[in-house]
């Protein structure tokens, strides 16, 4: 059943706040990896440790150590509860409040956030509008219809307008997740007020964004520290094309391990190798390769253009070595 105090298109209330001293202490204590764990649990609550380690590209032992370190903080940021034989993890109130303060662009968290021209607020507005349009297609049974769509039990021919509205809603939800607006996404989940539907949406996002999740750390690093991201890409190309550069680098040459752990490096390396294969299939044409990457990873990022340029350089060098014309 929908909440009676549903979020309007003009304002929505934040139910959590955090003291500045606590905020400062958490900023000093939490590492980037710790905050990554909090962000994933906020966008996908009730994950098992196994699912969380897979999402993060970290070993179970590594994740366990990090969770122990996070839970040295009192009150705990992460809570766990037994569901059957499995343990599920979720954020506590302080954890949610901390992320909310992180996401806010102001120095002091505000209780009332109004829509402005910011990209985040526009994305939230679009998601809420598309959800309302879906509801209008079947006002009395919209929640059941949404469940049917999420579980592939909807007959497209039966109600094409409803199915179109559903796809628009999912596109907007996907945009929120890709842009990292995790707290804004939680606003939609709170608005739905239905744990089963929320879980089905999260499962749908997992399917749609499987490739994106594999490169999300690289995307974030590109936005925050592009030069380091480019150096990591350069190192991977040295390993993928040792014949071009005259030999493999040493095994210990993985750069910036503090920002890019080995497990993350390995999963990213696999994705970059696949991207190079796509470039080869497109005869090294940059534009075509980038278009396919954007479709596969559901986003546009400057790293695609950098990788495409690297691929073109490789093709040029290989052509020169083989005595072929590159014109």
- Which tokens go with 42? 């906020």
pLDDT, mean of residues 43-51 = 80
pLDDT at res. 324: 55
**Higher-confidence position of 236 and 100:** 236
Residue (of 73, 75, 66) closest to 93 by Cα position: 75
pLDDT, mean of residues 86-111 = 67
What is the distance between the alpha carbons of residues 11 and 27, in angstroms, rounded to a whole number?
28
Q: Which domains does the chain have, with CATH numbers?
A: 18-103 (1.10.10.10), 113-206 (no CATH), 212-321 (no CATH)
pLDDT at 105 over 50: no
State pLDDT tens for residues 236-265.
988 888 877 665 554 456 777 777 888 888
Query: Which of 82-96, 194-208, 270-284 has the weakest average pLDDT?
Result: 82-96
What is the distance between the alpha carbons of residues 124 and 101, in angstroms, rounded to a whole number?
18
Question: 215-227: buried (b, 16+ CB within 10 Å) or exposed (e) per residue?
Answer: bbbbbbbbeeeee
pLDDT at res. 325: 47
Per-residue pLDDT band for 12 (boundaries 50, 70, 90) equals: very low
pLDDT at res. 312: 87
State pLDDT tens for residues 191-206.
888 889 999 999 999 9
């Amino acid at each position: 059943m929908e909440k009676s105090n549903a979020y309007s298109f003009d304002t929505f209330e934040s139910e959590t706040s955090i003291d500045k001293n606590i905020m400062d202490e958490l900023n000093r204590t939490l590492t980037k990896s710790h905050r990554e764990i909090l962000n994933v649990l906020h966008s996908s609550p009730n994950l098992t440790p196994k699912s969380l380690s897979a999402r993060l590209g970290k070993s179970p032992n590594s994740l366990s150590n990090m969770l122990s370190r996070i839970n040295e903080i009192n009150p705990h940021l992460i809570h766990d509860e037994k569901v059957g034989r499995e343990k599920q993890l979720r954020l506590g109130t302080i954890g949610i409040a901390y992320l909310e303060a992180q996401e806010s662009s102001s120095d002091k968290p505000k209780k009332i956030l109004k829509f402005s021209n910011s990209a985040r607020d526009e994305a939230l507005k679009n998601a809420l509008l598309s959800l309302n349009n879906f509801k209008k297609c079947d006002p009395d049974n919209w929640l059941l219809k949404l469940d049917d769509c999420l579980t592939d039990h909807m007959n497209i021919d039966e109600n094409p307008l409803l199915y179109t509205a559903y796809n628009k809603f999912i596109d907007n939800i996907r945009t929120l997740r890709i842009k990292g607006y995790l707290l804004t996404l939680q606003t939609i989940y709170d608005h739905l007020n239905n744990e089963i539907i929320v879980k089905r949406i999260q499962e749908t996002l997992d399917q749609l964004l499987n490739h994106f999740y594999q490169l999300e750390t690289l995307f974030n690093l590109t936005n925050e520290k592009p030069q380091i991201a480019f150096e990591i890409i350069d190192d991977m190309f040295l390993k993928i094309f040792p014949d071009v550069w005259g030999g493999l680098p040493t095994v210990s040459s993985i750069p910036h391990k503090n920002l890019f752990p080995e497990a993350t490096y390995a999963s990213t390396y696999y994705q970059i190798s696949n991207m190079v294969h796509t470039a080869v299939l497109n005869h090294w044409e940059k534009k075509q390769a980038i278009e396919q990457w954007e479709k596969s990873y559901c986003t546009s990022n400057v790293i695609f253009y950098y990788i495409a340029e690297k691929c073109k350089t490789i093709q040029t060098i290989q052509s020169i070595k083989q005595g072929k014309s590159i014109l």
